[in-house]
Structure 1
């Protein structure tokens, strides 16, 4: 009789644990918080998940004193526009290029992106076709970090690329 009782209890316990175990699901990544206010408390009227005036992704430069908007196509052509503190209007610089530095594990690569018109006195748009750089920028947040530096009025302004869920590219 003891063996029947033990068998019944074993079957009941197994059924209980199988039938009552919680459903296993993949963890849901929380949506990143967006903060459109500067530390001084005023609203810039944008967030970096929103598209810029050219429909690209936004990067704050130097504590949001300026912005860099970037977009790309499937060929690997990357285009960057220098914008004001509100990320609404184009601004210019005398620098004929911007730099992007990407780091994957221990490998750091810096690429200079030239102005679309290197002979002009003032520059606002920078462009390069570089499939490897594009691939690295698309991997930001997945083992790759990237930052850009733009020289404006002899002052370097730096901004970090953020993980992008598909914005900033044209199809």
Structure 2
């Protein structure tokens, strides 16, 4: 091969090797990146550092059980208080064999316990419930008054305890007619 052709061929190969083949390069150029805009509506919902959402599937407050083995979602309105047993990711209901769960609250130096009976949902297996509810107005009043305490529930023969505290920062002025 003639020296001139050999040097042109080596130069072409070197240029190709250094720059690469840009037609198949999927990475955007800096100019393309500068024109990129993030659509905030397309981002996933915010979650806390543990990786689960800040609120349960029904928009209720989450209570951690057993180092995130399970969660309980607490919702309430003026007429009822509900606790839903959820998986470790706080997304899916978990039916358990317990017939009740107990909420023990403290407010203004007084302590009171409330038992919420199992009220199975349609998707729960026979003999199990992922939902526990009460229409006790006193329980609702205690929660609205800022009472704090614990929820105690037996899951597969093991007792779990989670911290209950009502979050009054809902973004709503009144509590009538909605769950939270």
TM range (shorter): 0.5 to 0.7
Partner of 2:161: helix, strand, or coil? strand
> Match of 1:134?
140
Per the TM alignment, residue 36 of structure 1 is displaced from its structure 2 partner at its CA by 2.4
> Match of 1:160?
163
> CA offsets, 1:64-98, max 9 Å, x none?
211111111222x1111100011000111110110
> Match of 1:71?
75
> CA offsets, 1:81-121, max 9 Å, x none?
1000110001111101100001124321111100114xx51
The correspondence of residues 114-153 of structure 1 with structure 2, limited to 5 A, is 114-117=117-120, 120-140=126-146, 144-153=147-156
Task: List runs of 5+ in structure 1 lacking aligned partners.
Answer: 1-33, 38-43
- Structure with higher Rg: it is 2
Pick from 49, 58, 62: which aligns with 1:36? 49
Q: How much is the aligned-residue C-alpha RMSD, in angstroms?
A: 2.2
Counterpart contact for 2:148–2:166, Cα < 8 Å: no
- For normalisation by structure 1, the TM-score amounts to 0.64
Counterparts of 2:84 and 2:106, CA distance in 1: 23
Counterparts of 2:129 and 2:56, CA distance in 1: 18
Per the TM alignment, residue 35 of structure 1 is displaced from its structure 2 partner at its CA by 4.9
Counterpart contact for 1:137–1:146, Cα < 8 Å: no
Higher helix content, 1 or 2: 2
> Match of 1:55?
59
Counterparts of 1:86 and 1:132, CA distance in 2: 31
Per the TM alignment, residue 150 of structure 1 is displaced from its structure 2 partner at its CA by 1.0
> Match of 1:106?
109
Pick from 83, 87, 96: which aligns with 1:84? 87
Per the TM alignment, residue 162 of structure 1 is displaced from its structure 2 partner at its CA by 2.7
Counterpart contact for 1:138–1:164, Cα < 8 Å: no
Task: List runs of 5+ in structure 2 lacking aligned partners.
Answer: 1-46, 121-125
Question: How many pairs were matched up?
Answer: 123
Counterparts of 2:48 and 2:169, CA distance in 1: 20
